[in-house]
Amino acid sequence: MRLAIFDGRDGENRLGVVTGTGIADVTDALPWPHDPDPLTAGWWRRMCRDFAEVRPALEKAAERAPPARDVRLRAPVLSPSKIVAAASNYAAHVAEMHDVQRRTLGRVEPWMMEFDVFLKSPTSVSGPADDIMLPPVEGEIHHEAELVAIIGAGGRPFGYTVGLDITVRAEGDRSRRKSYATFSPLGPWLTTADEAGSPAGMDIELERNGVIRQQVSAGDMLVPVGDIIAYADGIMPLLPGDVLFTGAPPGVGPIAAGDTLRARITGLGEMRLRVR
Ligand code: MN
């Protein structure tokens, strides 16, 4: 099943099922009161946890609801308790970072070449209809198109989506350099894990202004999704609705105002984003 969050008439968050013909509004099929407040957003995290229970009602509602075509999609996550991101998870990316660091830092930081996890601020999330806003900072700002998992019950992946881990290449901590507003575009929707299939069969691709910059099989990850989750969960328990970036494929590079980026992953859809 493909689940979307979209703008309701009053600007509230509505839950949609993506069908062959559009987005079916299934919000009212959830068996608990809908809480439109994005600050609390407990209904979304609860759905990530209890999806197996509510799925039949959502499927039935999706068959009945008239599909809408021209809705404004938002990121398919709401108020995650945290965004965990993997670093150095593709060998070819680790290799290219030697050159990138020599250019942007004037040296190579060996600790940054090791697999690990770090945190991005949940306020960095933006949706597939939002522009990426570049902050006025020194240094290159890079695209990292990544497979993103959304956590469900028992710390298992509930679903997957396409994400960009936008990054300032400069001195200092990753959490600062990757947490500006709009530095975590997610979308266009969440595809549940059963429908998405194994990440090993997914290709990740990013185009900048029509030129392919990143293209890799998610099967090339050094640490597969289940092992990233196990590692992160042993440090900071992953809660339903949490977001996991699984690491940058090779081909990262600078973006600039006026650019158009297209990020797509097999079976998960595509986002077209403008940079401002
Ligand atoms: Mn990344």
Distance 105 CA to ligand 1 centre (A): 18
pLDDT tens-digit series, residues 119-154? 999 999 999 999 999 999 999 999 999 999 999 999
Distance CA 253, CA 263 (A): 14
Asked whether residue 40 carries a pLDDT value surpassing 90, the answer given is: no
Asked whether residue 36 carries a pLDDT value surpassing 80, the answer given is: no
- Mean pLDDT score of the chain, rounded to an integer? 96
Distance 165 CA to ligand 1 centre (A): 5
Distance CA 164, CA 180 (A): 13
Cα within 13 Å of Cα(137), Cβ side: 18
pLDDT value of residue 38: 73
pLDDT value of residue 41: 82
Reported as a pLDDT band with limits 50, 70 and 90, residue 229 is very high
The residue ranges of DSSP E strands in 31-183, in sequence order, are 73-74, 83-87, 116-120, 125-126, 140-143, 145-151, 157-164, 167-169
For 207, phi then psi, to 5°, come to -110, 135
Query: What is the gyration radius of the CA atoms in the chain, in angstroms?
Result: 18
Closest CA to 184 of 167, 199, 169: 167
pLDDT tens-digit series, residues 84-97? 999 999 999 999 99
Asked whether residue 39 carries a pLDDT value surpassing 80, the answer given is: no
Distance CA 55, CA 181 (A): 32
pLDDT value of residue 22: 94
pLDDT tens-digit series, residues 69-117? 889 999 999 999 999 999 999 999 999 999 999 999 999 999 999 999 9
pLDDT value of residue 3: 98
pLDDT more than 70, % of the chain? 100
Distance 109 CA to ligand 1 centre (A): 16
**CB contact at 8 A, 151 and 45:** no
pLDDT tens-digit series, residues 160-207? 999 999 999 999 999 999 999 999 999 999 999 999 999 999 999 999
Strands 211-217 and 203-208: antiparallel
The DSSP code for 248 is P
pLDDT value of residue 33: 81
Name the token pair of 229. 């989750």
Distance 54 CA to ligand 1 centre (A): 33
Distance 13 CA to ligand 1 centre (A): 27
pLDDT value of residue 254: 98
pLDDT value of residue 6: 96
Distance 133 CA to ligand 1 centre (A): 18
Distance 252 CA to ligand 1 centre (A): 9
Name the token pair of 174. 């990753």
Distance 84 CA to ligand 1 centre (A): 10
For residue 274, give every residue at least 6 positions away whose Cβ sits within 8 Å of its Cβ, in sequence order, or none.
Answer: 131, 132, 259, 260, 261
At 111 the three-state DSSP class reads: helix
What pTM, to 2 d.p., does this model score?
Answer: 0.97
Distance 118 CA to ligand 1 centre (A): 9
pLDDT more than 90, % of the chain? 91
pLDDT value of residue 252: 98
Distance CA 54, CA 65 (A): 16
**CB contact at 8 A, 196 and 161:** no
- Taking each continuous run of H as one helix and of E as one strand, the counts in the chain are 5, 18
Distance 253 CA to ligand 1 centre (A): 12
**What is the arithmetic mean of pLDDT over 16-43?**
89
Distance 245 CA to ligand 1 centre (A): 7
Distance 143 CA to ligand 1 centre (A): 9
Distance CA 62, CA 14 (A): 13
For 138, phi then psi, to 5°, come to -75, 150
